[in-house]
Structure 1
């Protein structure tokens, strides 16, 4: 859903958007328009939390990568908030104290989106495709309603189901995770 701005409903600059107060749920800036993400529901929140934990348990001890939930990333004249943004360890933007920067101005290496029932699949696919053009190496679109994961690598888009093994970042290539493994994260 686009948010109409009374002063000038058709355009807003990226700088003007970034000066606005943060919203809950987060708003994103795509092609001079503001879109507010839907409030996450149970399955979305569970998949997000469990995926972040699984990635960080696997990648952080060896300093391979780190997964951030709901991290604003501003690049290529857009400002987006992926459900999960994963950066290879040597790409994590750090300050002089070795701590993550608050303002991230590069595309994540791996971007994971979880489609909520109220979200436009086109908008999410557009975000993933744009990120790929700006340097993201791997994109996943998890579709809980279909028990499917769409993956983006380079100019390839693939659909995966069931026991299909999902592509990983090259630095995590020894980790195998199937679509079923992803959806098993929903089980308590």
Structure 2
């Protein structure tokens, strides 16, 4: 995409309908629309990619009830997001090669070193308001995981803290285990 078009998109408020008709929103890294503001996701780093790959494998190996999808577009009522990992009950997945209609059941975001956490928290809050039941924001540099759930206080997990997962998903992960993946 031409640089001036990127700058125009980044500054122009758009409706969801107009955003979804843009030709290059799926280019890598993908574009998102949050509160009428389009923005392109940062390019993944080694730590980001490693955590994303291992989390998807762990979640998918734990159950066939949910599927963990990296960089999968979700179309909400007025926003279009691409979580680092969207975990959704298999019954909700589209039957064709289309985005997920609605918020994922659980989403995981991995913070980049130069990324602003407020932008990611806004995305998470938007999803919680539209049906997401669980969200993790992983900060690899601080080695903490912020856990968001509807109508519950923010949970900060570190060390051997066991992370909450959907009740019907037989998976036990600690913050320490997740951050140990960065060393291998």
TM-score by length of 1: 0.88
User: Is 1:82 aligned with 2:101?
Assistant: no
Classify the secondary structure of the residue corresponding to 1:171. coil
1:123 to 119, 131, 137: 119
Q: How many residue pairs are counted as aligned between the two chains?
A: 176
Question: How many Å separate the matches in 2 of 1:94 and 1:185?
Answer: 33
Structure 2 unmatched ranges of 5 or more:
1-5
Question: How many Å separate the matches in 2 of 1:55 and 1:47?
Answer: 12
CA RMSD of aligned residues (A): 1.6
Per the alignment, residue 20 of structure 2 pairs with 18
Cα shift readout 1:64-102 (whole Å, capped 9, x = no counterpart): 11100000101020000000000122222324xxxxx42
Misfit runs of 4+, over 6 Å = none
Per the alignment, residue 45 of structure 1 pairs with 49
User: Is 1:142 aligned with 2:145?
Assistant: no
User: Does the 8 A contact of 2:13 with 2:38 survive in 1?
Assistant: no
Which structure's residues are more often helix, by fraction? 2
Question: How many Å separate the matches in 2 of 1:91 and 1:183?
Answer: 30
1:175 deviation in Å?
Answer: 2.1
Q: How does 1:103-114 map to 2 (within 5 A)?
A: 103-114=99-110
Per the alignment, residue 98 of structure 1 pairs with none
TM-score by length of 2: 0.90
Distance 1:10 1:89, change over 3 A: closer
Question: How many Å separate the matches in 2 of 1:88 and 1:10?
Answer: 34
Cα shift readout 1:133-176 (whole Å, capped 9, x = no counterpart): 1000100000001000000111221111100000001111x421
